[in-house]
């Protein structure tokens, strides 16, 4: 077993004690968890692999830890759920500096603490190549109230939170290798906020008919809602909110906003006539289009001319 | 995304429909699961990494899939719980033959079907090196009834299921590279049975005071029970049941039985005077010693001479 493992388990054990609903955490064969009465369990798993989801030369270790957990929390947000606890399976190369591991765990635990989430277990192993992390988040939602991808109906309006394309545009700069990219100027890419409060508000107030988080890009994630709901969509070019990134701050291009992944904004639909606030939990909400009877996603440009929008798979670093 | 992914998701989707308690499986941001009334949730995660936990030249792909899920199910067995559903995060190298992936999934799903477990989700990614699998098993246990590692008390008797050391002894043969190792002659290594029924029987009849599965080896796993319970132990050399492997069948050596991991037998303690059946669900049960007030684990040889037994960490392929 790699050297960092013992320190890691010790750290996780310390953080594991403060879980409200964790009856037994690290130190047994399984974690034992209490799901609140009248609730269902939510479970999501997400890989963070070196060279696929992050690069050690680009991403500070605390950003890698933060993003690792943010991916899982965002999936819980997209169901309108509340996270309870997380599990981390972590494969570390033998030569990885202890300092890197410490900062990774620190980044992950800081985000966990911000959301009242404990770390209740996981697995560790020596990795044959690169850092391998798999995050599992367990959450809960009142019985039958999870906001699914399959609930969109023709006539529903389509909304997104925040601005889109920040992460993809930041990656483009990293690829180009021009100038210095300081993590603090590109928060949405390095330290994305999972929108738990927004998802919960929408669920509690019965506002969203379908929801997904934008991890693969608007064009792809909207197609997921359309497929699962058996509907089409129409979105307006001029309505797409483009993210603002960097210093000096500038707007990302349309391509990043339409197809860029890993923004962890929420995309949801709501019945026509539902009053959707302009801001929820401090996050701006923008109507970008409507659900249609067809099966295609139509993209209407500023001159009112429509063309079919094809989803462009977000393949992380391979473009 | 690697080519096998679509076929994989299609396969998993098909298998995902038959989950009793899976309200929403693959095809949404999280799975939605119903935990039975009055029960707590159990969650366990286990890596299966190529080169660390298996080798493609030694292990047929269906064995790798089987062992991957067996590791998780065995953790649920060791709590006295019942498995509900599994999640698979799978990283595949780009050049992996589709045939290999199909057989891997087949092996995993066959074991899942044997135990009434569905596959409710997971993640896929291209792996930078080797096959990476992380299995998450979610189960349940009646509230407050999980059999923990921490319940052993001085005077309790110590028991194991089946025979020990089969997996380590088989690996030794694989390392030596002598003769042909046919998977069907070494079932315990290639296709281990998670002992869900045994664990559940012990829990339902309130027989076990502490329990763990033997994944790291008897000496290590017994030390886990002792540490968590704050006790010591005394075990008898002549009582240790050694596994029978191969064709012609032969008994493994004492070293494999004492220190070999990945047997997935159960190790448990029971109050003195509890009547423990000789067989549970067809599996033999052997008393191997007793819990003591000390902190050491004493190993008593056939002449009645005792020495301290140190746990020897089971490090898979690195020995």
| Reported ipTM | 0.89
Q: Does B16 have pLDDT greater than 80?
A: no
CA B137 to CA A194: how far, in whole Å?
25
Reading the block at residue A67, the tokens are 């993003």
Q: Which of B44, B87, B129 sits opposite A129 (nearest CB)?
A: B129
Mean predicted confidence (pLDDT) in A232-244:
97
Entry pTM: 0.92
**More confident site: A220 or B9:** A220
Nearest to A197 by CA among A80, A70, A287: A80
CA A203 to CA A181: how far, in whole Å?
37
pLDDT at site B116 = 94
CB B104 within 8 A of CB B8: no
Parallel, antiparallel or unpaired: strands B297-300 and B232-236: parallel
Angle at A182 between CA A178 and CA A188, to 5 degrees: 105
- Please identify among residues 184-223 of chain A the ones whose CB lies closer than 8 Å to any CB of chain B: 211-213
> B238, exposed or middle or buried, with CB in 10 Å at 0-12, 13-18, 19+?
exposed
pLDDT at site B230 = 97
Q: Does A1 have pLDDT greater than 50?
A: no
- Chain A residues inside the 8 Å CB shell of B213: 29
Residue ranges of domains in chain B, CATH in brackets: 4-142 (3.30.1330.10), 149-308 (3.90.650.10)
CA A220 to CA A212: how far, in whole Å?
11
pLDDT-derived band at B7, boundaries 50, 70, 90? low
pLDDT-derived band at B201, boundaries 50, 70, 90? very high
Reading the block at residue A103, the tokens are 């900062």
Q: Which of A41, A78, A81 sits opposite B41 (nearest CB)?
A: A41
CA A224 to CA A205: how far, in whole Å?
24
Cβ-proximal residues to B6 (8 Å cutoff; 6+ apart), any chain: none
CB B49 within 8 A of CB A91: yes
pLDDT digits (tens, 9 = 90+) for B214-267: 999 999 999 999 999 999 999 999 999 999 999 999 999 999 999 999 999 999
CA A47 to CA A106: how far, in whole Å?
18
Mean predicted confidence (pLDDT) in B182-207:
97
pLDDT at site B122 = 86
B32 and A75 within 8 Å at the Cβ level: the answer is no
pLDDT digits (tens, 9 = 90+) for B100-111: 999 999 999 999
Q: Does B43 have pLDDT greater than 90?
A: yes
The 3-class secondary structure across chain A, one letter per residue, is CCCHHHHHHHHHHHHHCCCCCEEECCCCCCEEECCCCCEEEEEEEEEEEECCCECCCCCCHHHHHHHHHHHHHHHHHCCCCEEEEEEEEEEECCCCCHHHHHHHHHHHHHHHHHCCCEEEEEEEEECCCCCEEEEEEEEEEECCCCCCHHHCCCCCEEEEECCECHHHHHHHHHHHCCCCCCHHHCHHHHCCCCCHHHHHHHHHCCCCCEEEECCCCHHHHHHHHHHHHCCEEEEEHHHCCECEECCCCEECCHHHHHHCCCCCCEEEEECCCCCCCCEECCEEEEEEEEEECCCCEEEECCCCCEEECCCCCCCCCCC
Alpha-carbon torsion A144, A149, A150, A155, what sign?
Answer: positive
Q: Does A67 have pLDDT greater than 70?
A: yes
From the candidates B16, B22, B28, which should be mutated to test the interface with A, based on the most A CB atoms within 10 A? B28
Nearest to A194 by CA among A79, A81, A71: A71
pLDDT digits (tens, 9 = 90+) for A263-278: 999 999 999 999 999 9
pLDDT at site A267 = 98
Reading the block at residue A107, the tokens are 């980044």
pLDDT at site B317 = 45
pLDDT-derived band at A122, boundaries 50, 70, 90? confident
Q: Does A39 have pLDDT greater than 60?
A: yes
**More confident site: A11 or A319:** A11
B5: phi > 0 → left, psi -120 to 50 → alpha, else beta; which? Answer: alpha
- Please identify among residues 91-130 of chain A the ones whose CB lies closer than 8 Å to any CB of chain B: 91, 120-130
Q: Which residues pair with A109 in a beta bridge?
A: none
Query: Å from A290 to nearest chain B CA?
Result: 21
Q: Does A105 have pLDDT greater than 60?
A: yes
Q: Which of A1, A49, A150 sits opposite B127 (nearest CB)?
A: A49
Q: Does B31 have pLDDT greater than 70?
A: yes
CB A121 within 8 A of CB B43: yes
Nearest to A166 by CA among A182, A183, A188: A188
Q: Does A316 have pLDDT greater than 70?
A: no
pLDDT digits (tens, 9 = 90+) for B120-138: 988 889 998 899 999 999 9
CA B214 to CA B70: how far, in whole Å?
12
Cβ-proximal residues to A301 (8 Å cutoff; 6+ apart), any chain: A237, A307
CA A144 to CA A40: how far, in whole Å?
8
């Amino acid at each position: 077993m790699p050297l960092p493992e013992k320190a890691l388990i010790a750290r996780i054990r310390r953080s594991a004690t403060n879980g409200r609903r964790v009856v037994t955490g690290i130190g047994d064969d399984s974690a034992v968890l209490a799901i609140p009465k009248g609730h269902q369990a939510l479970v999501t798993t997400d890989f963070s692999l070196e060279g696929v989801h992050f690069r050690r030369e680009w991403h500070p270790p605390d950003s890698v830890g933060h993003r690792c957990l943010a991916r899982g929390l965002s999936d819980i947000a997209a169901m309108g759920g509340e996270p309870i606890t997380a599990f981390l399976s972590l494969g570390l190369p033998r030569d990885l500096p202890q300092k890197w591991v410490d900062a990774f765990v620190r980044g992950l635990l800081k985000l966990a603490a911000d959301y009242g989430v404990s770390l209740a277990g996981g697995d560790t192993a020596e990795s044959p190549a690169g850092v391998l992390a798999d995050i599992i988040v367990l959450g809960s939602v009142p019985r039958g109230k999870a906001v699914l991808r399959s609930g969109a109906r023709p006539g529903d309006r389509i909304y997104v939170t925040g601005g889109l394309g920040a992460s993809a545009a930041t990656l483009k700069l990293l690829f180009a290798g021009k100038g210095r990219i300081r993590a603090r100027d590109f928060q949405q890419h390095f330290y994305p906020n999972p929108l738990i409060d927004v998802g919960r508000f929408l669920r509690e107030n019965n506002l969203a008919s379908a929801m997904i988080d934008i991890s693969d890009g608007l064009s792809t994630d909207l197609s997921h809602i359309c497929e699962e709901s058996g509907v089409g969509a129409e979105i307006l070019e001029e309505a797409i909110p483009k993210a603002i990134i960097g210093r000096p701050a500038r707007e990302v291009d349309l391509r990043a906003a339409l197809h860029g992944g890993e923004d962890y904004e929420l995309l949801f639909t709501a019945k026509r006539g539902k009053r959707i606030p302009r801001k929820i939990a401090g996050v701006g909400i923008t109507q970008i289009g409507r659900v249609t009877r067809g099966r295609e996603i139509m993209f209407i440009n500023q001159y009112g001319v429509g063309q079919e929008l094809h989803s462009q798979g977000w393949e992380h670093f391979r473009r």
